[in-house]
Amino acid sequence: MIPPNQPSKSIPEENNDDFIILLDEPLDLSDEAATLPSDLLANAWKIIIVDDEPDVHRATQLALKNLHFEGKPLMFFSAYSAEAGKQLITVEHPDAALILLDVVMETNDAGLKVIQYIREELKNQQVRIILRTGHPGEAPEEAVILTYDINDYKLKVELTRQKLLTSVISALRSYRDIITIDQQRLELAHALVQLRQTQLQLEEYTHTLEKKVAERTSDLAAANRELYRLVALDSLTLIANRRHFDEYWQQQWQLLTQQRHPLSLLLIDVDHFKFYNDYYGHQAGDECLRAVAQGIQRVLNRPTDLVARYGGEEFVVVLPYTSLKGATKLADAIMTEIYRLNLVHLKSPVSDRITLSMGIFCVTPQASMTSDAPIAQADKALYQAKQAGRNRYFICDLIDIICPSQWS
């Protein structure tokens, strides 16, 4: 709303630093923003002038006319009362960068109440507020600065074009930095949401991550180890790959060498898998390996036990803190589980369904032994089981192959 005509306060114009108090002849500087396209308006610095003196509006716009900051123009919006100023910042231009605010309007503290409204009710901490007054006695500078959340305080009688320009540019820089920080905060929050979604997709893909996540503690190192395990999966069977087995075996070997506890190893081969692959096709062969891998996984109950794809149709099971008796019991359980799957294998000379051959080795690691020795011994026992007719396991100690056992 444009206020009624008021007498202008005239001071001669001598140079650009003359006081910005207008001119006997009115200037035609009505709001250009009203006719601007919305896209251009959105790419401008919005400045609200709240003052009951029309001369102050005209003087401010004249002083800053054609000014651009960082390639963007300044657009001015006028309010001639505190209530009209509230309407502008609340409804029409909540994204205003700067408010040039008079203190004394309808009341001696009208401008101060606008400040409280913006900061406390609207919770708008972004907009910069420069307080201007022609009645310093009504609002002592020190008391106002300490009490109200403003960014500058100016007396109208001392406000030159240069000082106004300095204050406005400083306020716009501050507003720009605040908006940048808020945008970065939003981007960070979005990135965190995307990271969580990715983690949930990994949990669904592995079918076991939910249990692992529940078991994780706040210990960052433990969480990192768990994530590493997820990326060390064999893509076909969804169990640990050979690389992860090699690393885990070395870790357990060193640990149990220090603790002097037993470590057992099962080396497993799917009997006559080549015949299966040739007869049923590679896709069926892949499904068969997945079923066998997941069947072995289901038998393992402890978080320290590990099943991995060793290569081709071979699997390996690492059993820390497990005696030979415990390893043998687990081998029986694995063969039972695979037999129960009833994976038909009409081309097997051993059985009408998929069967396994195993080599078992148990040792208490010692510093004088190499970590490769148990693997070689388990492989030796597996070879003997296959030579004896498959569908069985052999147990090996450091001396010889012992205790052949056939599954039927």
Q: What was the pLDDT predicted at 145?
A: 81
Q: Report all structural domains of the chain as residue ranges with CATH numbers, in order of start.
A: 32-182 (3.40.50.2300), 240-406 (3.30.70.270)
For residue 137, the model assigns a pLDDT of: 61
Read off the pLDDT of residues 228-263 as tens digits, 9 standing for 90 and up.
Answer: 656 789 999 999 999 999 999 999 999 999 999 999
Is the whole model's pTM more than 0.85, yes or no? no
Region of 191 on the Ramachandran plot (φ > 0 left; ψ -120 to 50 alpha; else beta):
alpha
Give the pairing type, strands 128-133 and 314-320: unpaired
As a whole number of angstroms, the distance between CA 12 and CA 28 comes to 19
Q: Give the whole-angstrom CA distance, residue 337 versus residue 123.
A: 64
Q: By percentage, how much of the chain surpasses pLDDT 90?
A: 59
Residues whose CB is less than 8 angstroms from the CB of residue 178 and which lie 6 or more positions away in sequence, other chains included: 125, 126
Q: Residue 86 and residue 55: Cα distance in Å, rounded?
A: 21
| pLDDT tens figures, 22-37 | 333 333 344 444 455 5
Convert the pLDDT of each residue in 120-178 to its tens digit: 999 999 999 998 887 766 667 777 888 888 888 888 777 788 888 888 999 999 999 99
Q: Beta strands of 23-65 (E only): which ranges?
A: 45-50
Quick one: pLDDT band at residue 200, thresholds 50, 70, 90? confident
From the list 155, 63, 147, 145, the residue with the least C-alpha distance to 104 is 155
